Structure 1
Amino acid sequence: MVILLFFIAHWYLSLLMQTFFLHRYAAHKMFTMSPAWEKFFYILTWIFQGSSFLSPYAYGVMHRLHHAYADTENDPHSPSFSKSLFDMMWKTKNYYNNIVHKTDKIEAKFKAGVPHWNFMERLGDLWLSRLGWGTLYLLFYLQFATAWWMFFLLPIHFLMGPVHGVIINWYAHRYGYVNFKVDDTAKNLLPFDFLMMGESYHNNHHKFGGRANFGFKWHEFDPTYPFILLLNKLNIIKLKTNNDLKYM
């Protein structure tokens, strides 16, 4: 029971940072926050994503490219230009590493305003950090696992961020339903998104890239949106009212 609760907590806390901070803030700037709060959420991202820490800067730049060039040869992660799920993941990793190590040739407009805290970017990308988090997960399982099959969950802990990414970048471009006509293959993967905290409403998001609430139909509840509204009410963030933002 303890292991399952730990897995569920890691799944949703890691995903929360990915959808709230990396996606809706770093890439789309759907809301603003002070430099101090930005650093706070940088640290939370490192804690909650752990061994699979994703650079907010690299994620933001790469996701902007995805919106600008969705399902073309210039898309960093498109099933339409990948031989398999693993081929797409490998291409995404290479794109990501080039941005992290600043060896890319991406236009400056895609990098404008994307948050970058050099200390946390470096710390999160260190192998010592990744191995340290992975070791903590293993020690936790050794202490609390009550069945051998539970250890098969460990690889998901190690790669939690990329696992979340591939669910949307691969499956939500191949399976699901469509609410809006768009110029790419983005689909809504789940009619009720209990799994991806609103991220699976991918077709909605590709149509309205600046809209903080990813749900549209009555059954499309976006669990991240009430969290955003709460932070906005507490003046931790300032939600933008103009939905007609860049990188739609």
Structure 2
Amino acid sequence: MAGFQPATHIPETGYSENGYGADGSTPRRKTISNSYLHRLQRRHFLLFDVLPIAGTAAAIAFLAVHPIGATELALLFSMWLLTGLGITVGYHRLFTHRAFKAAPAAAAALAVLGSMAGQGGVVSWVALHRRHHECSDRDGDPHSPNLAGNGLKGRLRGLAHSHFLWMRRHEYPNVVHYAPDLIKNRALVRVARLYYYWVTLGLLLPALVGGLVYQSWTGAVSGFLWGGLVRMFVLEHVIWGINSFLHMFGTRPYESRENSRNGGIFALLSLGESWHNNHHAFPDSPSFGLRWYRLDPGYWLIRLLAVSGLAWDVKLPSEERMAAKRIAARRSAPSTAV
């Protein structure tokens, strides 16, 4: 495995690794940690990370009152797909890595759908993920599974931290440092400020549909549970699995400075996110699969937006760039001695 190389520049922010501005003036704090932020983190953790677990258990128990039907399955699938695409295409590929450009209406719609997932406001999410890329699998990474020690105990502790527990309390990346482009975008900031309203809307919509279809309060509750909390539970654990398991297990076709791995078997379930080593090797690529035959629904949506004129600058890494990072090619290349 290649050694980790220290970052000397953060392309997404324009600030150097030492935290100084472009003019070399006053240093910016990269992270913020105080009791007020920790209280907000604990509240968000309980509401949107723990509650969906309880909601999933309640949905199973509620089957005794209202058996699951086609409406619940349709709500679960459609809400998972819409909010999942909001995360992978909007939050991740568009806003974090600027892998393509999108029309304002499309960008706003993706931001709203991503907000409905309940994984944090768009500006905070982007700042956290940019810090993850800067410090991936090194000190400062908010959710690495590889920093908890060696042996089985250390690996299990690392997986538990990276998959779930890190969200209880963590240093908050300074959005002025990590997301200055987003806080200058007034339309996006307006969407971010309404984050809790969007999450609530994402829970109430399936409840409304369930109530209208079944014409009963049990239908509304069932729609709320399956299209809201269960959907949130499923999507969250899929995304968290990328942070945890795919930094320990899977294939590694490309050189990258961290321990990212591909898990192609989960490509459809993760909407393309499980091509994780590909993504870390080429974070500016709108396609995580990189090849047409690798399933990547997130990229399919980007191509559809491009065909519709709602997205542009959709550029994949060149063959030469991919070949230069391919591990098998490097190992087979003849070495030269001086």
The TM-score bracket by the shorter chain reads 0.7 to 0.9
Amino acid in the other structure paired with 1:122 = R
Does residue 4 in structure 1 map to residue 73 in structure 2? Answer: yes
- 1:220 paired residue number: 294
Structure 1: gaps spanning 5 or more residues: 99-103
Q: In structure 1, how many angstroms separate the alpha carbons of the residues matched to 2:260 and 2:203?
A: 33
Q: Percent identity?
A: 23
Q: In structure 2, how many angstroms separate the alpha carbons of the residues matched to 1:6 and 1:145?
A: 12
Q: Give the conservation status (yes or no) of the 8 Å contact 1:197–1:224.
A: yes
Task: Note the alpha carbon deviations across 1:136-169, whole angstroms, 9 max, x for none.
Answer: 55673831899xxxx6886433445533320211
TM-score normalised by structure 2 residue count: 0.58
Amino acid in the other structure paired with 1:26 = F
Instruction: Tell me how many residue pairs correspond in the alignment.
Output: 229
Does residue 65 in structure 1 map to residue 131 in structure 2? Answer: yes
Q: In structure 1, how many angstroms separate the alpha carbons of the residues matched to 2:256 and 2:202?
A: 40
Does residue 119 in structure 1 map to residue 190 in structure 2? Answer: yes
CA apart distance, 1:199: 0.4
Q: In structure 2, how many angstroms separate the alpha carbons of the residues matched to 1:56 and 1:119?
A: 11
List aligned pairs for 1:146-161, cutoff 5 A: 155-159=229-233
- 2:283 paired residue number: 209
Q: In structure 1, how many angstroms separate the alpha carbons of the residues matched to 2:145 and 2:232?
A: 24
Amino acid in the other structure paired with 2:276 = H
- 1:190 paired residue number: 264
User: Which protein, 1 or 2, shows the higher relative CO under an 8 Å CA cutoff with sep ≥ 6?
Assistant: 1
CA apart distance, 1:214: 1.1
Distance 1:234 1:175, change over 3 A: same
List aligned pairs for 1:87-98, cutoff 5 A: 87-88=161-162, 89-92=164-167, 94-95=169-170, 98=172
- Out of 160-169 and 175-184, give the one that drifted further: 160-169
- 1:18 paired residue number: 87
Corresponding residue SS for 2:312? strand
Distance 1:75 1:159, change over 3 A: same
Corresponding residue SS for 1:113? helix
Does residue 143 in structure 1 map to residue 219 in structure 2? Answer: yes
- 1:178 paired residue number: 252
Larger Rg: 2
Distance 1:153 1:133, change over 3 A: closer
Amino acid in the other structure paired with 1:111 = A
Q: Give the conservation status (yes or no) of the 8 Å contact 2:290–2:316.
A: no
- 1:75 paired residue number: 141
Q: In structure 2, how many angstroms separate the alpha carbons of the residues matched to 1:210 and 1:175?
A: 23
Q: In structure 2, how many angstroms separate the alpha carbons of the residues matched to 1:196 and 1:158?
A: 13
Corresponding residue SS for 1:79? coil
TM-score normalised by structure 1 residue count: 0.76
Q: Give the conservation status (yes or no) of the 8 Å contact 1:72–1:78.
A: yes
Alignment root-mean-square deviation, CA: 3.2
Task: Note the alpha carbon deviations across 1:79-116, whole angstroms, 9 max, x for none.
Answer: 113525443333245448x4xxxxx44672x2232365
Corresponding residue SS for 2:101? strand
Corresponding residue SS for 2:268? coil
Amino acid in the other structure paired with 2:192 = E
Distance 1:193 1:242, change over 3 A: closer
Q: In structure 2, how many angstroms separate the alpha carbons of the residues matched to 1:157 and 1:143?
A: 16
Q: Give the conservation status (yes or no) of the 8 Å contact 1:208–1:243.
A: yes
